[in-house]
Amino acid sequence: MNITGLTTQDSVITELFLDSLIPGPFLPEEGSLLDVGSGGGFPGVPLKIYKPRLAVRLLEANSKRVSFLKQVIRLLDLKDIQVIRGRIEERHDDQAHERYDVITARALASPVQTMLWCAPFLSHHGYLVTFLGSHPQKELAACGEVMRIHSLSICKIISYLLPRKSKKRNTAILQKK
């Protein structure tokens, strides 16, 4: 079973591991992190390794991926990391008391939809990390109303070029005020 869709070791290292670590230096050393739509564990697992004091929850709907993630956690002997089977859009008001210091969403949905689903689960001053395309200002401009409603502001936009790639990538870190 191919969990990520990538077929070479080089592409997995570059496009998943390295890309996952880009926001790491700008995130808190400890607290709680929810990785929404975790898939193969990106960016949640690399960020857990980089920031071991973060309590990480990987939210994934696909049962095969959930099993894979549990095995990865066992093999890497990671502590304070849990896999939750489910979807962010199905987590209703009875679970709204859960708040996270950081929420990551990589290839989940449009930026607007990602914010609508994730913002209610952010703690006050929490960070939402979303991986954007090559025009982050345009994508974020379309999110203005949702950002206002959920008290999100742009904390940082990180623009970068991955090795052996010609297209610039961008990661936005938003903060709930």
Question: Domains, the chain, ranges and CATH?
Answer: 9-86+93-176 (3.40.50.150)
Helix (H) or strand (E) holding 126: strand 122-132
Residue bearing tokens 């898939």: 39
Q: Which SS3 state, helix, strand or coil, does residue 17 take? A: helix
Q: What is the predicted pLDDT for the residue at 134?
A: 81
**pLDDT value for 97:** 64
Pairing of β 152-160 and β 169-176: antiparallel
Q: What is the pTM of this model?
A: 0.90
Residue 124's pLDDT is 95
Query: Does residue 51 contact residue 26 with C-beta atoms inside 8 Å?
Result: no
Q: Which two tokens stand for residue 66?
A: 């959930």
Quote the CA–CA distance of 103 and 105 in Å, as a whole number. Answer: 7
The pair of three-digit structure tokens given for residue 102, joined into one six-digit string:
């950081």
Parts of the chain with a pLDDT under 70: 1-12, 14, 92-97
Q: Where are the strands (E) in the chain, listed by range?
A: 31-36, 54-60, 81-85, 100-105, 122-132, 152-160, 169-176
Please give the Cα distance from 165 to 75 (Å, whole number). Answer: 31
pLDDT for residue 1: 52
